[in-house]
Structure 1
């Protein structure tokens, strides 16, 4: 399925003109806005392409129905034929591949075509090279230096197919892994007979070009833009040279142009690309087709086009839809790859140990009372990299779990860093670390705080000591389970609560959550420090990871599972390298136990028998050091930024038995059930010193928090933002919209009129995909569409799609019926751009403002759209600060004869939340929680103005809701937060 950035919008593809705009291409003809392509690729210039396509269009007879375009249809189907020829010239005639177009129409020129597969769902446009080596190649990426190695790719499908060569195409644009996988319809990348094709500039001015091909011998099911790793090459042809073997990081012949090197480091200016050998030279000139940071640097990055050639035909990938319709399709759950907008972060380095890895800004999270507590080695809390709104708050701070807002009332003081946090059952906050003073008083390693103020809780009196060499007690791990606070770190004794004499509990122990009384009967007695622990939710065992090799006299090599009753050791053999010095993360998730640590390992084990179920090795980079889970997806953090090798067991030589090479950037995700990487999660982050994720946390709202030395992240707009110490990722949308219903098909003089009752979705607006026979032929945002007439007995289906690639089940089949009687003309009662009375002030209107009889004569008036934060406004709303959360609107109109109004469709937008009333009765609510609504009610999601306009909200109101004579529509629009960048409203009312 397509991700949010990949899904084809309802009325517009990014970069294209809206339907029926004066600039829209003629129906049935592909667009020709691309610049002239380089003749050395055998592609035709723009003017020749137009002529060739028009000639082909006439030959194929696709212009016959040109006058039957429906306003709500993205691209109409061709008339009459039961199944149109897949020529790629319209959405309805989309082909399975560029290859199919070339096989069916040998004269087809290179250019932009519509492609569709069952995995894509609805058609989208891509650039096809129909000239090179028999044609049939689809362009999946192009650019010079600075390629993205993330699965999210870079840019939109429109940008990839837009500028395909020339200096305008130097900035890389790449399809996402999801889109490429859908173009392959799930076919493994390794099985492509033509492998991967690179077309690279071979000189500085772009007048010479080189063709390359290579295939894989190592496993490669899913596409990945990460080539700087140990994926094994089977055979290759680079220019005039050919051979076999090598790894995708560097292979080929010699050290000049007959070589492909994707190694990325300081010598390459840290810019990824499909480089030449170390002996080749480029130029830093912005106009150079072969970029290098200097004229003496090797591995220049040439402008490159990346092509694939899936040889698929529609007849082999599609099958007829049963009369019951299609099943729903929902994306697997994980955090979204793009970060939430940064509100607050932390900055500065405190008095932690002087190591890059051990003293990061954020190393602990815990949640309680609607608050996320963030601990680490930071000094300040602030909003920007430059220190905006900076507050001096060291080592521990509190943030609202829903908004990320800094909570100023929680102000504890520490002298050194926090390494562990836990919230006790009554809400108090336990903190562990390297500190020796808390709130101005001596307190070494462990303290419990008031959750609101951060004051020291004097009723919790646990004191830890360390009688070993050095004598400094350190707490690195905390967890709460079954009335116990479990503690791990470097210490030997505890006192507290009702125990006044030291209790021997070496490196691990537990104390009462009430007053901190140590359990003198529960002593793991590890012979080395504990770095991490996890008390099982099943309450029967506790897991530890660290530097130890034994618990008492029982071997426990760097990891241990102990009975929660008596600390007896549960047999567990961790098959790590003999040189592994420690394990530093452990987590039980369902029936699995995950552990990670030195030598770059992340393993999982079956809980019942503690037998190994999956292995992973990170390379290059460093060890795994944090694990969390949302219950189905496991997140693991590391100081690694290149590749995770699933199935590998040892570092540094990972061998050849690994099963999947996946991009990883400080943290990755794995499916807990299968142990396989969840490749849909591919974050793009930057860090101050590359220490990686040292704390991972899944909060109660589904958001995943990364903590470490983070300095930047990338939002869904592809904009880079400052992230201070931690980054938040929302959970992706895994819920399909509800199924449309009541689909009917009525022949008319203008074609087949399809109508249906719309769907609802958990996050916002939906679009509708109209299927005919076996595939999608149209996409619309309305509940009706008119298609050119099809043969009698043709079967239609409709399903709903959200903005993130989830599809509802479709309606059952609706069959073309006899033409219906002419329908009454639509009447517009409220136009877009109409003038509305509005109220936008610190004082909300009185109760009953929605009623027809309310006197709104003192309200302001203005033309729609009304609001702020959008370029196309009729009226801009202003008010004294603070800006009100809600704006209110009223409009009256007359209905001459209500008996002639069967239904009235209201079309509006939700930016961010909206409630609509007809004659005082609520008829529509979107992005507003159920229950009473006031002027201080927040919308439950933030929606950009662009998204709101692109995803209109419609409701069909029965005629019985109106009266003959005066009627009133009243509306209230709510923001998700007061500083929202956009807030807008517009509405039209049209009778059916």
Structure 2
């Protein structure tokens, strides 16, 4: 849950020549003078070979409702309920071994163990799905850029029965926008609330006598129980966040994206907000981007993903242009960093932005459209795509990297062997109840040419 979603701007285009190749093996590793030896693999790291899903997946790409015309990943959302994995995105059909089985655009369900398509779950949406969440009551919350679900109006957000796909009338939230198409790019369920980030100005929701309307700008929270918006939480963000993550500790909400102000205060890359009021939390450092082209350009830096580690000690953030940083939670002071780019000394640009983060068994997994080198101990670049200004060691990265959650050392044993079609890489990482890692994005086949339909599953055994 995204760990979910979504992050645009100058992320294009990484290693286009690779055409989305997530290379099969670690073929290069090196160290700078006097650098430490390469990190050893943690015993709990996932195996690099994806599990068989019986050839099931999704196919097709419809970007007509996407807020970005050049976005070419047909899977952007993953969630789990009762032995099923729900897959959302811009796909148009369910397929098996590359052959279309049925038209089922934007949202489908598959058996978690076997991968088989669940034919009884057939909701009908008219636009792309960007994020998914499951409530404690077992309702499937679906967010995206759609306007009609099962023949009735439900703009950008709807609750479905996860068994049948029918709209759940006990959960209601109506979203509107002053101009343009309303849409939700990211949501995170934490405690009694669901935090929503997107192109939204007003939320009206709730059921029975517990209803309300809240006006704001691009970030809201609504009740998990019935969808009523919180009147006390009303931050104002100059642009919609690309990802929102609410801390399990209940004391802050992180918002990542390309915004210039929050509540009228200059704030870029990453904002830390009160979960109850939306006010900026004081005492945290400014997150320094890996690259900032200003004043030669006008584009502000951005962040595509943010995550707080399960031990509550660190924040993992993506401070623009191929960077992945470990920050101390208390102050957001930078502790360690990684950067993706081309080979040392090469003039060919490679690498790409990190786009999704998840954690399992003390290992942080981070996905990117990067298919060349991961540089450890790297924090800055003068030319995105080339080697950074300094580093301690480098090793191959194949679209998803594994990192020790405490030391943040790269764990080279995890080197997945899957291929993409457009070079967009992985846009969603999700850990299921069995402890396996699911990756969704521009994924079409394994190194042995086995077909993959937009997603893959990695386990420890």
Pair 1:581-2:301 in alignment: yes
- 1:596 match: 318
- 1:687 match: 420
Task: Give the structure, 1 or 2, with the largest relative contact order (CA under 8 Å, sep 6 or more).
Answer: 2
- 2:182 match: 473
Structure 1 position 598, deviation (Å): 3.0
- 2:105 match: 394
Q: Is the 8 A contact 2:41 2:413 kept in 1?
A: no
Q: Is the 8 A contact 1:648 1:654 kept in 2?
A: no
2:449 pairs with one of 720, 723, 726: 720
Distance in 2 (CA, whole Å) between partners of 1:455 and 1:149 is: 41
Matched position secondary structure for 2:444? strand
Deviations 1:629-667 (A, max 9, x none): 115111111111111112222232644421121211222
- 1:347 match: 59
Distance in 2 (CA, whole Å) between partners of 1:401 and 1:545 is: 30
In structure 2, the CA distance between the partners of 1:702 and 1:417, relative to structure 1 (3 Å rule), is same
1:521 pairs with one of 213, 219, 232: 232
Structure 1 position 581, deviation (Å): 3.2
Q: Is the 8 A contact 2:380 2:389 kept in 1?
A: no
- Matched residue pairs, number? 414
Deviations 1:644-693 (A, max 9, x none): 11222223264442112121122211111101111110011110101011
Distance in 1 (CA, whole Å) between partners of 2:224 and 2:403 is: 33
Distance in 1 (CA, whole Å) between partners of 2:41 and 2:408 is: 20
1:365 pairs with one of 78, 81, 105: 78
Deviations 1:251-270 (A, max 9, x none): xxxxxxxxxxxxxxxxxxxx
2:92 pairs with one of 370, 376, 379: 379
Q: Counterparts in 2 of 1:121-160, with a 5 A limit?
A: 150-151=24-25
Pair 1:622-2:352 in alignment: yes
Q: Is the 8 A contact 1:359 1:376 kept in 2?
A: no
Deviations 1:8-46 (A, max 9, x none): xxxxxxxxxxxxxxxxxxxxxxxxxxxxxxxxxxxxxxx
- 1:489 match: 198
Distance in 1 (CA, whole Å) between partners of 2:443 and 2:317 is: 23
- 2:405 match: 672
Distance in 2 (CA, whole Å) between partners of 1:189 and 1:420 is: 38
Q: Is the 8 A contact 1:486 1:508 kept in 2?
A: yes
In structure 2, the CA distance between the partners of 1:512 and 1:189, relative to structure 1 (3 Å rule), is closer
Q: Counterparts in 2 of 1:302-317, with a 5 A limit?
A: none
Structure 1 position 546, deviation (Å): 1.2
Considering only aligned residues, what root-mean-square deviation do their CA atoms show, in Å? 2.4
> Which stretches in structure 1 are left out of the alignment for 5+ residues?
1-147, 154-176, 178-187, 191-215, 224-328, 733-992
Structure 1 position 558, deviation (Å): 2.0
Q: Which has the larger radius of gyration?
A: 1
Matched position secondary structure for 1:722? coil
Distance in 1 (CA, whole Å) between partners of 2:413 and 2:269 is: 32
Structure 1 position 220, deviation (Å): 7.4
Deviations 1:129-151 (A, max 9, x none): xxxxxxxxxxxxxxxxxxx9644
Structure 1 position 505, deviation (Å): 2.6
Structure 1 position 217, deviation (Å): 4.5
Structure 1 position 152, deviation (Å): 5.6
Distance in 2 (CA, whole Å) between partners of 1:189 and 1:386 is: 42
TM-score normalised by length of structure 2: 0.84
Q: Is the 8 A contact 1:352 1:359 kept in 2?
A: no
Pair 1:662-2:395 in alignment: yes
- 2:460 match: 731
Matched position secondary structure for 2:37? coil
1:413 pairs with one of 108, 124, 132: 124
Structure 1 position 499, deviation (Å): 6.9
Q: Counterparts in 2 of 1:850-869, with a 5 A limit?
A: none
Pair 1:439-2:115 in alignment: no
Q: Is the 8 A contact 1:597 1:625 kept in 2?
A: no
Between structures 1 and 2, the one with greater helix share:
1
Deviations 1:750-796 (A, max 9, x none): xxxxxxxxxxxxxxxxxxxxxxxxxxxxxxxxxxxxxxxxxxxxxxx
Distance in 1 (CA, whole Å) between partners of 2:67 and 2:264 is: 34
Structure 1 position 218, deviation (Å): 7.8
Q: Is the 8 A contact 2:25 2:417 kept in 1?
A: no
Structure 1 position 608, deviation (Å): 2.1
Matched position secondary structure for 1:599? coil
In structure 2, the CA distance between the partners of 1:676 and 1:356, relative to structure 1 (3 Å rule), is farther
In structure 2, the CA distance between the partners of 1:355 and 1:527, relative to structure 1 (3 Å rule), is closer
Pair 1:535-2:265 in alignment: no
> Which stretches in structure 2 are left out of the alignment for 5+ residues?
1-21, 294-299, 342-349
In structure 2, the CA distance between the partners of 1:451 and 1:545, relative to structure 1 (3 Å rule), is same
